[in-house]
Structure 1
Amino acid sequence: MTEKILILDFGSQYTQLIARRVRELNVYCEIHPFNKIPPVDSSVKGLILSGSPCSVREANAPDVDLTPFKGKMPVLGVCYGAQLMAHKAGNDVLPSKIREYGRAKLVSIHNTDKLMKEITPDSQVWMSHGDTISGLDDKFEILASTESVKVAAYKVKGEQTYGIQFHPEVTHSLEGKVILRNFVVHICGCSQDWTPDIFIDSTVAELKATLGNDKVVLGLSGGVDSSVAAVLIDKAIGDRLTCIFVDNGLLRKNEFDEVLASYKDMGLNVIGVDAKEQFYSALKGLSDPEQKRKAIGRVFIEVFDQEAHKISDVKWLGQGTIYPDIIESVSVKGPSATIKSHHNVGGLPEKMKMKVVEPLKTLFKDEVRIVGKSLGIDDTILGRHPFPGPGLAIRILGDITAEKVSILQEVDHLFISGLKRVGEYDKVWQAGAILLPVKSVGVMGDERTYENVVSLRAVTSTDGMTADWAHLPYEFLADISSEIINKVKGVNRVVYDISSKPPATIEWE
C-alpha cells in the first residue's frame, strides 16, 4: 500500500503547487476538495490544509471536521488552513491592519522544533492574506514571526499539528521546500520511495490485474500523454492493445506520417486513419470556437468508433488523462461553467459502451515525461510541445478551410523548425502560430498586397496552468518573420504575442 499525504483544497490557486512540491520529495500525495474527503486508512501519513481566497470570518466560509486527523496524525495548515485551525480553537482571526502580500522575512525562528529545522534567520517567505491570527491561547506555541505578523508559524502543544501563515510551495519562499520536507519526511515519516520506476511497476501490475485478458483500444494523438499511456498498457497486455491515430486534417505539417513512423519503432500496434475530408465537411461554415470543438469531437467519435468496431470484443477504452484533468473536474467550486470540449475524451465511453482505463490519472505533466523517460520513450516524443486536441482549428480564428489549414501548417512548420534550429525549442513550453481573421496592406516588389496576418505564440511554463510569454531573441523573431513572409504565399504580416497567462490563455480560442 503506497503511503501518501492528503491535501484538502479550500480553493487556493496554489493547491496544485503544494502537491507538486510534495511529489518532488518522492512522496505520493492526493488533492481532495475539503468537502469530499476520502476514507482514511493506514496509508495516509499526514494532512495538509490549503490556502483559500475566503476568510474564516465569512458566514459560509469553507470548514472541515478535523476530528479524524487532528492529534491522530501530523497536520499542516497553510495560510487559510492555519487560520481555520486557530479560529476553530477559539482564537481571534481578524482583518489585517495592513494587508500583507508579497515577500516577508521570518524572525524569532524556533529552530528546535522539527518543522523549522535548518530554517535560517531572516528567511524569505511569501505572504498572501487579508486576515491575521491576532493571538493564540496557551495551547499553542509560536514557532516564527515576521516584523508585521506575530503568528507566522505555530504548533499545537502535545500534537503534531502545525500552521504557517505563508506559502512554502511558491518559489518566493526561498526555504519553503525545506519546511515541506521537514513536515513530510521528518514529522510524517514518509520514506520518499515513490519513484518513476516504482510507479511503472505498480501501474503495470495494476493494469494486468484490472484488464486480465481483455482488449483495449486507445486513441493516440502523437503527444506525450497518450504515448506514455499506450506504452504502459502495452507493457501490461501486449498486442491486446490497439492504438488508433486519426488524421483530422488539423495536424501540423507532415505530422501524421512522422508520428506513425515513430510509433512503429516503439513496437506499438497502431492503425492510421485518414479522415481529413470528414472533418473539413463538418467544420464548413463554423466560426464559433465551441461549435468547432463540438464538431471535431462528434466526428472524432464517429471515426474512432467505426475503426474500433473493426476489432472484436474490445471492452476498454484507454485514455491519457492526467492529474490536473481529474482535479479540475472535482474542484472545490465544481466544474467551471464553460468547459472546453475535447475531441479525444468527451462522449467516447458513453458512445462506445466501454469501461475506461487511465494509467496516468495520478501524474502531473512533468511526471508523465519522467515516467516516459524511464520507459525508454524517445526524446522526440517526450520533448514535444503540448498541442490542442482540436488541433489547428482553434488556431485559425473564424471558419476553417483546407486553404487556411495549409497556410497555417506552413507558418507553423517554419516557426517550430526555426526554434529547433537556434536551440530555443526545448526552452519553450509551447509554441505555435495563429491565423487571424484580419488582412493587411503590404508591399512586395512594386506591388501592393492585401493578405493574411499571423501571430506567433511561444510561452514558458512548468505545467501550462500559468505561463509567461517567451522572451525570444529579437534577431530570431526578425529572421523568422522575414522567412514566413517570403516563403508562405498569402501572408504579408507577422506579429508576436506578448501576453501572459493569466490574464490571457495560451491558445487564442
Structure 2
Amino acid sequence: MIVILDFGSQYSELIARRIRETQVYSEVLSYRTTPEQIRQLSPKGIILSGGPSSVYDERAPHCDPEIWNLGIPILGVCYGMQLMVQQLGGSVERAECGEYGKAALFIDDPTDLLTNVEDGTTMWMSHGDSVTAMPEGFELLAHTENTPCAAIAHHERKLYGVQFHPEVVHSLGGQALIRNFVYHICECQPTWTTAAFVEETIREIRAKVGDKRVLLALSGGVDSSTLAFLLHRAIGDQLTCMFIDQGFMRKYEPERLVKLFQEQFHIPVEYINARERFLERIKGVTDPEEKRKRIGHEFIRVFEEESKRLGPFDYLAQGTLYPDVIESADTNVDPQTGERVAVKIKSHHNVGGLPKDLRFKLVEPLRKLFKDEVRKVGRSIGLPEEIVNRHPFPGPGLAIRILGEVTAEKLDILRDADLIVRQEVNRSGTYSMFWQAFAVLLPIRSVGVMGDQRTYAYPIVLRFVSSEDGMTADWSRAPYDLLETISNRIVNEVRGVNRVVYDITSKPPGTIEWE
C-alpha cells in the first residue's frame, strides 16, 4: 500500500490512479493524518501531493514533521517537495520566473528515482515557487532550464522530491519514475489485481451482510450493473434490485434495462415508475446543487417507501466510486481557520444527497475504485461489453443536462436530441473514441429561419470529451461529417431546436457535465 497525503491538489486522485496502474493499492488521505495513524496502516511508501498554497503562507497546510522519521520512503510532488525542503531545513522562495506546462528534464543523477527516465524527457510543471537551498544530506537529481532543483533526494533516508507532476499524462517519463518509487524504492509487490479485488470484496460483503437482505440502487450503468453482478455472486437471492424510473433517463432505456437484467442475466428487478413525483420535486428549481440534492433525497425516500412493500431490508447497496467520494467531500478543512484546501466541486446524488435520517446501512464495495477499475472488475465477472464500455451517465440523469428549470417539454426535447447523438455516434463507429458524448439543453432561445419562417427556439450543445479516468478531460476532435450529420438531424427532427453548438472546453477549467 502507498499512502497519498492530500494538500488540496486536484491531481491527488491521479497520483492514486497511477500507483494502482502498477498493481499496488493506494489511498488518498488528509494531510492532517497523524504519523501514528499512518504507522497503523503499515504503508510501504508515502507520497505528498501538490497543492495551491505556498509553504511560507501563514495558513499553508503542513503535515506533522514527525512523518520524516517514520522510516518509510517518501516522495514529495511539487508543493509536497517544497514542504519537505522547508520542514527539513532548506529554503523555498518565490521564483523569478514561474514554470507552467511542458519542460525538458535534464538528469544529473540517473539512479534510484530516475532509473530508466530518459535525459531531456518532457515533464509537466505548474509552480511559482522554487527550492533555493536543499536541506542537509540531500543531493540534486535533475534540473530544468528554469528550475535548478527539479528533483532531489536524501538516498540514505529514502526521501525524494520532484518539482514537476509525474502523475499527469503530459509527463512522458512520469510513470517510469512512479514505478521506480513503488517497486525499487518502496519494494512493493504487484498484488492489487482485479482477481484479488473480486475475491476480497466478495469475502467482505458476506462478512458484513451475513444473512441480511440487501436492496440495490440499480441504474443500468457500468457501476451499478457491476455491483449487481458482484452482489449476486456474493449473496445470491438475498439481493433485491430496484430500478426507480425517475423520468430523467434516456429514451427507451428503462424498458431495455429491465428486460436485459430479467431475461438475459436472470437477476430479478423491481421496476418503480416515479416520473411525475421526481419532476414535481424539482419544479421551479434552477440551482444545480439543489437539483442534485432534491433528486438524491427523493431517490432515497422512494427506496424507503418501496422497501416496506418488498422488505424488510437492512442494507442499501450503491455504486459509489472513488471520484464521487473525493469530489463530494469537504476535505481538508482546517479546524482552526475553517479554510478549505481542496475545493468541493459538486455533490453526487449517491453521496452528497443522502439525508441524515437514512434508515438503511450502506454497502458500497466500489467506493475505492476508479471508473477504469470498475470496468475491469465488470468484465472479469461476466458483464457484457455493451454495459462495460457504456459511457458514464450521471445519477440525476438528464435533469442536470437541462440547465435551469426542468420541465416535461424540455425532457422530451433533450431525449430526442440525445437519441440522435447516440444513434449517429454508434453508426459512425466512433463510440469508443469518446469518454462521453452527449447533448445539453440550454435555457435560452435564439432566432432562426426554417422554411422561410422566423423561429425562436432552444440551442443544443454537443459535449464530446476524451479522458482516462474522468478526473481530467479534453474536448474531442470529433469528425466534422459526424457533427454535421448530428446537427442536421437534430434541427430537422427535434421540434423546439433551431441551433446546435459544440463545446470545446477541457476539464479543468470546465467540468465534463455542465451542471
| Partner of residue 469, structure 2 | 463
Structure 1 pair 317/396, CA: closer, same or farther in 2 (3 Å)? Answer: same
Structure 1 pair 90/263, CA: closer, same or farther in 2 (3 Å)? Answer: same
Equivalent residues, number:
505
| Partner of residue 156, structure 1 | 154
**Which among 24, 28, 41 is matched to residue 25 of structure 2?**
28
Whether the 8 Å contact between 2:332 and 2:342 is mirrored in structure 1 is: no
Matched, 1:279 2:278: yes
Structure 1 pair 31/214, CA: closer, same or farther in 2 (3 Å)? Answer: same
Matched, 1:315 2:332: no
**Which among 482, 487, 490 is matched to residue 488 of structure 2?**
482
**Which among 228, 231, 236 is matched to residue 229 of structure 2?**
231
Determine the C-alpha separation between the residues in 1 that align with 2:488 and 2:87.
64
The Cα offsets for residues 252-311 of structure 1, whole Å up to 9 and x where unpaired, read as 000101111222222323111111122233344444434433443343233221111123
| Partner of residue 48, structure 1 | 47
Where structure 1 has 5 or more consecutive residues not aligned to the other structure, the ranges are: none
Q: Which residues in structure 2 correspond to 1:136-151 (within 5 Å)?
A: 136=134, 138-151=136-149
Per-residue deviation, 1:129: 1.8
| Partner of residue 429, structure 2 | 423
More deviation, 331-340/259-268? 331-340
| Partner of residue 388, structure 1 | 394
Whether the 8 Å contact between 1:33 and 1:330 is mirrored in structure 2 is: no
More deviation, 133-142/73-82? 133-142
CA RMSD of aligned residues (A): 2.3
Structure 1 pair 346/79, CA: closer, same or farther in 2 (3 Å)? Answer: closer
| Partner of residue 82, structure 2 | 83
Amino acid of the structure 2 residue aligned with 1:22? I
Equivalent position SS for 1:416: helix
Whether the 8 Å contact between 1:293 and 1:390 is mirrored in structure 2 is: yes
The Cα offsets for residues 198-244 of structure 1, whole Å up to 9 and x where unpaired, read as 10001111111111111111111111211112222221111101111
Structure 1 pair 59/425, CA: closer, same or farther in 2 (3 Å)? Answer: same
| Partner of residue 66, structure 2 | 67
Whether the 8 Å contact between 2:142 and 2:151 is mirrored in structure 1 is: yes
Determine the C-alpha separation between the residues in 1 that align with 2:66 and 2:456.
70
Amino acid of the structure 2 residue aligned with 1:251? M
Whether the 8 Å contact between 1:5 and 1:45 is mirrored in structure 2 is: yes
TM-score by length of 2: 0.92
| Partner of residue 397, structure 1 | 403
Determine the C-alpha separation between the residues in 2 that align with 1:85 and 1:377.
45
Determine the C-alpha separation between the residues in 1 that align with 2:148 and 2:344.
42
Equivalent position SS for 1:437: coil
Structure 1 pair 257/167, CA: closer, same or farther in 2 (3 Å)? Answer: same
| Partner of residue 365, structure 2 | 359
Structure 1 pair 167/397, CA: closer, same or farther in 2 (3 Å)? Answer: closer
| Partner of residue 250, structure 1 | 248
Whether the 8 Å contact between 1:132 and 1:149 is mirrored in structure 2 is: yes
Equivalent position SS for 1:87: helix
Per-residue deviation, 1:425: 1.7
More deviation, 217-226/24-33? 217-226
| Partner of residue 497, structure 2 | 491
Amino acid of the structure 1 residue aligned with 2:332? V
Determine the C-alpha separation between the residues in 2 that align with 1:62 and 1:46.
21
Whether the 8 Å contact between 1:203 and 1:359 is mirrored in structure 2 is: yes
Amino acid of the structure 1 residue aligned with 2:415? Q
Whether the 8 Å contact between 2:82 and 2:92 is mirrored in structure 1 is: yes
Where structure 2 has 5 or more consecutive residues not aligned to the other structure, the ranges are: 334-339
Amino acid of the structure 1 residue aligned with 2:86? H
| Partner of residue 14, structure 1 | 11
Equivalent position SS for 1:252: coil
| Partner of residue 332, structure 2 | 332
Whether the 8 Å contact between 2:422 and 2:438 is mirrored in structure 1 is: yes
**Which among 161, 186, 189 is matched to residue 188 of structure 1?**
186
The Cα offsets for residues 118-171 of structure 1, whole Å up to 9 and x where unpaired, read as 222223222222222212355222222233333222222521111222221122
> Percent of aligned positions with the same letter in both sequences?
50
TM-score by length of 1: 0.93
**Which among 216, 219, 234 is matched to residue 218 of structure 1?**
216
Whether the 8 Å contact between 1:318 and 1:358 is mirrored in structure 2 is: yes
Equivalent position SS for 2:412: helix
Structure 1 pair 96/311, CA: closer, same or farther in 2 (3 Å)? Answer: same
